[in-house]
Amino acid sequence: MSHIRSFKNTVRKELTTRFKLLSRLLAESIPITACMLNPRFKHLKFLLDDVREEAQARLTQLVREDGAVEQPGPTGEEEIADNVGVELAEASCKKARLESDFEQLFGAHFESSSKTKRVNSDADDELRDYCQWTPHIPTMDNPLEWWADDAHRFPRLAKLSRSYLAIPATGTPSERVCSLAGNTVT
């Protein structure tokens, strides 16, 4: 039994150290900001309440600093959205099954709320409406597609989301190329 306890403690320590979970700057980190801009995980239920509040304050600061909002012009986004719609229709059954599986495994990490379709004029209103009144999207849905559809409702947040959600989630492939162990195995 002590080996299992030792293993669990080692894993807990490594995760805490590697992801800096006890850092005072966790709320200001890029991954936490990206999670807030991801409509699947925006409620940050995986964080302690005080860290969640700090992260929301940080996002509020970013939205206020950004200020200037680009007005969307005529682009090929409509054509892309049509192609995405066809692909989504083909995969909807699979996504529904996977979403159900994810919810059974990980539990609900979001709060459902009623949809609102108003366009926000103030940065604080925009952030409040995004956090409180927009419903979650299923875990298997693409947050970038959601932002493409709802950018007109949240223009400041949409601009930030394009920056933060475009960051690769891991550097593993690049690290593996430079790793001595990776070269040895290869």
Per-residue pLDDT of 122-140, as tens digits, reads 888 888 999 888 888 888 8
CB distance 44 to 32 below 8 Å: yes
Residues 6+ apart with CB under 8 A from 45: 109, 110
Q: How do residues 74-123 score in pLDDT, each as one tens digit?
A: 444 444 444 545 455 555 556 556 666 656 555 655 444 434 444 445 88
pTM of the full predicted structure? 0.59
* Per-residue model confidence as pLDDT tens digits over 156-165: 999 999 989 9
The beta-strand segments (E) located in 29-131 are none
* Backbone dihedral angles phi then psi of residue 106, each to the nearest 5 degrees: -105, -10
pLDDT at 89: 53
pLDDT of residue 6: 93
Distance CA(133)–CA(129), nearest Å, equals: 5
